Amino acid sequence: MDWSEGILTIRGAKFGKSRLVPLHTSTCKVWPTTRSAGMSASAREQRGILVNLNGNRLDKGEVHRAFYLLSRQIGLRAADASRGPRLHDFRHRFAVETPVAGWYRNGEDPKRRLPILSTYLGMPT
């Protein structure tokens, strides 16, 4: 984690590639205060970034259940719906809406910029 730049590096992501995840400044302000004091960096990494109230690493099922609960609470998904937005859908939305649309709006060549997007998404170039 590069706190000064607000960039989280995920190593060994999809296709064995690394991925860069930009974090919002509000996350960078709060996150360091939630880390365990006195814990070494390697111990924090082993514990995980997304942890439950007991400080244990969240598993994939817990993350998805929390997302479904929150998406119902904020109206993204009806209370009784078995289908609706998935976490993975946000990855696709980010890929299209954030950088690519901005490149077109700014008159940049998206094809030239795709390696940058590929790094963020951890995709092969």
- H-state helical runs in 1-125: 25-34, 41-47, 60-73, 87-95, 101-105, 110-121
Residue 52 has pLDDT above 80, yes or no: no
The tens digit of pLDDT for each residue in 78-116 reads 988 888 888 888 888 888 887 888 888 999 998 888 888
DSSP designation for 2? B
44 against 88, higher pLDDT: 88
- Residue 23: CB atoms within 10 A of its CB come to 16
Q: With bands split at pLDDT 50, 70 and 90, how would you rate the model's confidence at 27?
A: confident
Dihedral (C-alpha) 113, 117, 119, 120: value to the nearest 10 degrees?
A: 150
Residues 6 or more apart whose CB falls under 8 angstroms from that of 3 comprise 28, 32
Question: Which pLDDT does position 80 carry in this prediction?
Answer: 87
Residues 6 or more apart whose CB falls under 8 angstroms from that of 1 comprise 7, 8, 9
Contact 110, 84 (CB under 8 A): no
Question: Positive or negative CA dihedral for 80, 83, 84, 85?
Answer: positive
Contact 71, 85 (CB under 8 A): yes
Residue 124 has pLDDT above 70, yes or no: no
Helix (H, G, I), strand (E, B) or coil at 32: helix
